[in-house]
Structure formats: structure tokens, C-alpha cells
Structure 1
Amino acid sequence: MKIIQAYKEAGKEWEYFQKKAMLKNPLVLVFGNRYLLEKSEVIDDIRKEFPYEDIVFGSTSGEIICCNVNDESISVTAIELENSSFIVKRENILDFDKNAKELGEALYEKMPKENLKHLFVLSEGSFVNGSSLINGLETNIDAKLSITGGMCGDDARFEKTLASYKENPKEGEVILIGFYGATLEVSYASFGGWIPFGPERIITKAEGNILYEIDGHPALDLYKKYLGDKSNELPQASLLYPLNVTPDGKKDPVVRTILNINNEDQSMILAGDAPVNSRVQLMMASVDGIAQGAQTAAKLAMNNRKSKPELALLVSCIGRKLVMNQRVEEEVEQVREVVGERVPMAGFYSYGEMAPFNGSTSCELHNQTMTLTLISE
């Protein structure tokens, strides 16, 4: 595997982490600030610097490259696979009347299945229901096939996100990257480091990712009582106090970020599903706890690997970034210490992370986690 990485801040020159060189038919991952990705001159500059066909774009809430976390920048990771291969497919949620499950089914159907080892998803992040998208992708999936990935971001604005394959970045795109090859080894993990607090309650009314009632009371009203004065800062304040949701019949909880609120019906729009009869608690976090969570994720991803990873793809949550603030690079450094200092790292801060629980291949949508995908040939 040959990898070339570079990043660029507005008005500055490209900075490379490896010696600049031409690659043979690489997969090019471009993660960047949404405002920059909307500028045609920025896209033209990227295409000129990386004149390749298979370019995947995604907007972020912060770009991860090497051990750095950048804002208002463009980061590029070009990957030449030597003993394996990749295929990229795309669909747009607007062509499916915003039905993410149907899109997921259609997208997986387009992907050739022979020798398929792993799927990486880069999805629109502002109105795609990530849980439904995963359900669609897994409707007819081989039980041995794993899925990881993330939802695009837009800093803490939550206005719109952009993604694309080959074309210029646009709204509504969901990108699916398939990795193929007998020698390919992919491991993954997801972990948070957040702490539940307060009483455990029951979700009594919800539809998909819209939460209406907890213990028979309006969900938003109950949430505001917990936040106190911070409720005036909603929905941004909710990134610091997500929900710990354990669906009925399942032992492993998932964390759900509140993306938006509706004061009229006192509901909360979550980044993923929160089914009726789920147990729910509020969560909080410390900087040290989040950094430790990233280290735990890295250790889980490294468990039982046969070979050293050649690439680490990191998808972390905007909520973690807001809590850590100036110390945000600490969680990336924790990952680097575990996976190895010479392993190239690339990724972004997201509106939702996708990965199976440890020991499983069934994918889940997570919020507030550090999610890792480690790849080697």
C-alpha cells in the first residue's frame, strides 16, 4: 500500500506528510470544511494537485490527518492498493424521497460481491437517518461482511453537509466504498468514554429518530429541566449532554446526539433511531475520559490483528471535539500511540459514526464515539 497525504489551509500552499509522487489509480479521500468544498476554485485546485479519477469528497466538523486536527482546511489521503482493490458506488437520498433504508438496499445491490471484504460508508449527515441507512445496507448482506464509516459534518452549524464521488461535492450524497482482496485485513472498533448520570427512564413515544416522550412526559421538556440554564443554548448545548439509549431486548447501549429540537411539539430530533421501550439516560464527559475512550477504541481495533495496519481511518464526533476544545488532538495522539507512530492516519469529525460492537459484524450507528477502521494488505 502506498499512501500520499497532504493538507491545505485557505490561501496557503499544500503541505505533504510523505514525499510527493504520482500513484497508480489511487482511492483519493478528500475531507474538508463545507465552505471550502462549495468553492469551485478550491475543487479545481484539489483536482490539479491530485489528478486522479476516483476522488471521494466529504464535508466535516474538523479534519484529522497524521496526528493533527485541523479546521477550515482541506485534507487529502491518496491510497494506492497493491495487493487488493476497491470499487466506489453512490446514490442520492433525494432520489429516494429521503428513505434511507431504500437507498441502503439499492446501494448495496450495486456493489459487486465477489471477494468483497469490507464496506466503508461516507454519508450525507444533516437529514439522512443513519440507523435506517445501515438497516438498508444490511438487509441482504453476507453475515461475514463488515461495515464502518461516518456521517459528514458541518462544524457545529448543522446547516448542511456535502459529499460526492468524482463529481463536485453536493447535498444528499451517500458514498459506499468496497474493499476487495484475499490478503486484505480490516479491523475496527468504536468506543466513547462518556458517563451516564441521573435516573434511567423509558422512551414511551418515538418515530424513527424523532423522540417525543420519555416516561409519558414531553421529551424536550424533561431534557430542559436537566440542562437548567444551558437549555437556552439548545440545540448546540445538547452535544455536551447526549443520550445513552439501550433498545429493548439488547444489552449494548448506543449514544445518541440531539441534532435539533422542536419547541412546538416538545420533540427532539436525534442522529439515529431511539425505539419505543428503550431505556435512556443522560450522559456527560470529561476531557480525560474522552481521550481514554479513544485509546480503548484503538486497543480493541488492534486486538487479534495478524498484520500491522498500513492505514488508520478515524471518525470521531463533533460533540467530543467541543468538549475537548484545545485538547482535541489528545484523542488522536492516544490512537497513534496504540496503532503505531508510522501508520498514516486520516479521518474527520462527524455527525455520526458507523461500526459494529466489539466481537460483532452487525453495524450500528453511534454518536460521541471514536471509531477506527484499520486496513492492511
Structure 2
Amino acid sequence: MMQSEQLIWSEEGWQAVHGQLQQPAGLVLLFAARERLTPACLEQVAARYPGALLLGCSTAGEICDTRVLDGTVLVTAVHFAATSLELVSETLAAAGDSTAMGRSLAARLPQAGLRHVLVLSDGLEVNGTELVAGLRQGLPSGMGITGGLAGDDTAFGETRVVCGRHAARGLAAALGFYGERLRIGHGCLGGWDTFGPQRLITRSAGNVLYELDGQPALALYKRYLGEHAAGLPFSGLHFPLALSGPDGKGGLVRTVQAIDEAEGSMTFAGAVPEGSYARLMKANLERLIDGAAGAARQSCSGLEGGSAQLALLISCVGRRLVLEQRVEEELESVRDLLGPQARLCGFYSYGEISPYLPTARCELHNQTMTITTFSES
């Protein structure tokens, strides 16, 4: 059975938060404010947990149990009794593009006995949609993939991924889990309300949207936002787009990252394909909190009747900004669903990686709460 402990590291020393390991850690999940990810920090963590794999990233807020922290280094150390791990990484510069990056990560993971892949990626330089597509291409059909994109508070300046004693921009890391006694579940839900008419994406390129129904996308978006348009792109976090295919099916949400006044375009945190339909969304605080609980409920389905021992929560920075002082309520709703025995850790992100439904393929999402649960018998 796995064990875990949580600590907060600072230059003044270590502060114990939850639990205490009785066995050496095999994995350390490390989530921190970008400026805290210094060589000294990583050396201290590695020295405390010799032999453990270090995986983590910069954040827009660290999740520790039911608290949201800022400016900290949150360490969750895990001992697995009967699970082995493989950690690989790739830089965007070496891969050439984000799809090739995903395929390279997949190819470097031994596939015999592979149960699940957890991926953390740069949140600004890497195209998350293409990264996930590359992973799907390189991994066995139906392989579980979850994870998220690193954050940088609300600055959107640069993000970093930790792999071993190294933290860098333009990096993605994939952790493979192996072991018959390991059970893994995942859930992903939003909770936003749609409004206004559905519009056809008539011109786009990757994650840049130029036209909706043949009209300049930015002008149309501003018209709907009204007085909130003056705050773009930041205010766009409150008004994401819901995407659906020509058949009306979907489930993807996209958040504005940047706007181009000259081109009349908007850049999103994931792909906005031509031929898809888009509809505006707005916040409903109760539904956002219920969405987090729903994601927790979904994540239990893969545990085959067992209880979660470790839960990785990756929620969008946009949800945090909308929920404001109520943000910890979405974490409390997860705790209520998973029970007191589960160790909760995670971060607020620039994108979430998960199947939207347990049987669906993995995608990049925005504005969702994504939960991966682990249990070892």
C-alpha cells in the first residue's frame, strides 16, 4: 500500500504539513511559484529524498489538501509498495514541434506493463493540443493519459517544468506507471453556463481564431463582453468558449490567452479547429463547485471499489479567478467525495489534460477541474 507525506520547503527550512513516510520515497511531486524553482530548491528536495524521481512545475497556485497556496514550494513525497515508475522528458527545441514532442515522449516510455501516463508541460511555449495528439499517436490505444500545463500565476510570462534536478522552459515530462496492484481513476468537469447563439468557426489556424460566422472573431467577442471587453485578454478568463463538432458533440472549453487588435484575432490555450462550433460561456459559481465534485466522483470509477489514497488535482487558473474567495470550496467538495484518507495535492494551471469522460480519448481542456486518483492494493 502506498504511503505519502507533504511538506512545504522554503530557504528557512522544511515545514511538515500532512503525513510521515515510513519508507523511502520513490516519487516526489513538486508544485511551486515560478520564482521559487531555483537550483538550490531542487538540490534541497533531492537531498531530502535521495533516489526519488522529481516531477513538477510552476503554478498559478499550489493545492495542498483543501488550501490554495501562493509563493510556496509544495512537496508531496510518495512511496509505492508494488509500483515501478519511468520518467522521461523532451524539449520543444529538440523535438521541433509539439506533436513530435508527444510522440518522442511516448516512444521513450517502455510500453510493456504500462498502466498510465502522467504528463506535465510548459504552459506557454508548447501547444498542448498537439502534445496530447502526439502522445495518443505513440501510446497504445486506450492508454490513460492525464496531466496539465504549468502556470505562472496571472503573469503569463514564462513557465517551467521540473524533471529531476532540472527546471526549464519549453520542457515536457512524462511519468509512466507500471504495476498490477495499482488502480488509477480520472475525472474532468467544468460547470460553466453557455449563453448566446452557437457560431461556426469559419477561419482559424491552430489555436488562433480569426472568424466566427464569417465575421472578425475579436470584434464579435467584444460585442458580447460589453464593458468587460476593456479588460481583455485577462477578462477573457471569465468568458471561455465551448467547442462542439458539426454533430453537436463536444465537451472542450477554450480560454483566451492573447488578442491581436490589428488582425482582429484571438489566441486560445488550445486548438480551435475550423468547422467546429463555438458558444460563449459564463461563470455559475455553484455549478463550478459542483463540477469539481463531479470530477471527483468520476475519478473513483477507475479504482474498482477501492478508496483513493492519492489524488492529483489540476484546476484552471480561470476557475480560481472567477471563484475568488470561494476557490477553496471546490477543493472541499473534492475532499467530501474522496474521503479523509486521500492525500490531495496539485496546482492551478494553464491547461488540463484528461479524457472528458472515462471512455473518451484524452484531450487538452481549459477551465476544468481534472482529478487523477491512485490506489495501491
5 Å-filtered alignment, 1:125-164, equals: 125-164=123-162
Tell me, in whole angstroms, the C-alpha distance in 2 between the residues paired with 1:232 and 1:330.
30
Whether contact under 8 Å (2:24, 2:49) holds in the other structure is no
| C-alpha distance in structure 2 between counterparts of 1:11 and 1:201, whole Å | 54
1:267 aligned residue: 265
Partner of 1:5: 6
Which residue pairs with 1:31 in the alignment?
Answer: 31
Single out whichever of 282-291 and 46-55 deviates more from structure 2. Answer: 46-55
- The aligned runs of 1:193-208 (5 Å cut-off) are 193-208=191-206
Asked whether 1:15 is paired with 2:13, we answer: no
Task: Look up the SS of the partner of 2:168 in the other structure.
Answer: coil
Distance in 1, Cα, partners of 2:326 & 2:171 = 32
Alignment RMSD: 1.6
Asked whether the 8 Å contact 2:239–2:281 carries over to 1, the reply is: yes
Partner Cα distance (1:53, 1:310) in 2: 19
Task: State yes or no: 1:367 paired with 2:366.
Answer: yes
Residues 49 and 283 of structure 1: CA distance in aligned 2, closer, same or farther (over 3 Å) = same
The Cα shift of 1:53 comes to 4.1
1:161 alignment partner, SS class: coil
Give the equivalent residue in structure 1 for 2:216. 218
1:366 Cα deviation after fit: 0.8
Matched residue type, 1:215: D
Q: Of 142, 166, 169, which residue of structure 2 is paired with 1:168?
A: 166
Give 1:303's aligned residue: 301
CA deviations on 1:340-374 (whole Å, 9 max, x unpaired) are 11210111100000111223151011110010111
The reply on whether 1:330 has 2:314 as its aligned counterpart is: no
State the identity as a percent: 37
What residue is the counterpart of 1:339 in the other structure?
338
Secondary structure at 2:55 match in 1: strand
In structure 1, C-alpha distance between the alignment counterparts of 2:307 and 2:198, rounded to whole Å: 41
Distance of aligned partners of 1:110 and 1:327 in 2 relative to their CA distance in 1, 3 Å threshold: same
Conserved? CA contact 1:10–1:73, under 8 Å: no
Q: Are the counterparts in 1 of residues 128 and 149 from structure 2 also a CA contact under 8 Å?
A: yes
Shift of 1:135: 0.6
Change (3 A) 1:58 1:130: same
Aligned residues of 2:160 and 2:167 also touching (Cα < 8 A)? yes
Deviates more, 1:228-237 or 1:335-344: 228-237
Separation (CA, whole Å) in 2 of partners of 1:42 and 1:22: 23
State whether structure 2 residue 265 is matched by structure 1 residue 276: no
Q: In structure 2, do the counterparts of structure 1 residues 164 and 195 end up closer, same or farther at CA, with 3 Å as the change threshold? A: same
Partner of 2:138, secondary structure, is: coil
Q: Distance in 1 between matches of 2:151 and 2:42?
A: 18
Task: Report if the CA contact (8 A) 2:303-2:375 is conserved.
Answer: no
How far is 1:65 from its partner?
1.4
> What is residue 321 of structure 1 aligned with on the other side?
320
SS in 1 for 2:313: strand
Which deviates further from its counterpart, 257-266 or 115-124?
257-266
Residue 290 (structure 1) aligned with residue 291 (structure 2)? no
The CA distance in 2 between the partners of 1:165 and 1:141, in whole Å, is 21
Mark the CA change 1:9 to 1:225 in structure 2 (over 3 Å): closer, same or farther. farther
Alignment counterpart, residue 209 of structure 1, candidates 207, 210, 213: 207
Cα pair distance change 1:94/1:119, threshold 3 Å: same
What's the counterpart of residue 40 of structure 2?
41
SS of residue paired to 1:303: helix
The one-letter code matched in structure 2 to 1:139 is Q
Q: Which amino acid aligns with 1:227?
A: L
Q: Distance in 1 between matches of 2:181 and 2:76?
A: 22
What are the superposed Cα offsets for residues 165-215 of structure 1, whole Å, 9 maximum, x if unpaired? 113311011010100111211111100000111111010001111111111
Gaps of 5+ in 2: none
Change (3 A) 1:12 1:196: farther
Q: Is the 8 A contact 1:145 1:361 kept in 2?
A: no
Encode CA deviations 1:212-259: one digit per residue, 9 max, x unaligned: 111111111111111122212111101111000113346122000111
Name which of structure 1's ranges 207-216 and 163-172 shifts more when overlaid on structure 2. Answer: 163-172
| Correspondence for 2:117 | 119
Q: Deviations over 1:268-308 (max 9, x none)?
A: 11111111111101101122221111011111222363211
Contact kept in structure 2, 1:125 and 1:152, CA below 8 Å: yes
Q: Contact between 2:46 and 2:52, CA under 8 Å: does it hold in 1?
A: no
**Alpha-carbon shift at residue 40 of structure 1 (Å):** 3.5
CA distance in 2, matches of 1:137, 1:293: 27
Q: How many residues align?
A: 374
Is 40-49 or 282-291 further displaced after alignment? 40-49
CA shift, 1:80, in A, is 1.1
For 2:303 and 2:56, locate their aligned partners in 1 and report how far apart those are by CA, in whole Å. Answer: 29
Match of 2:159, SS state, is: coil
CA distance in 1, matches of 2:197, 2:144: 35
- C-alpha distance in 2, partners of 1:12/1:117? 36
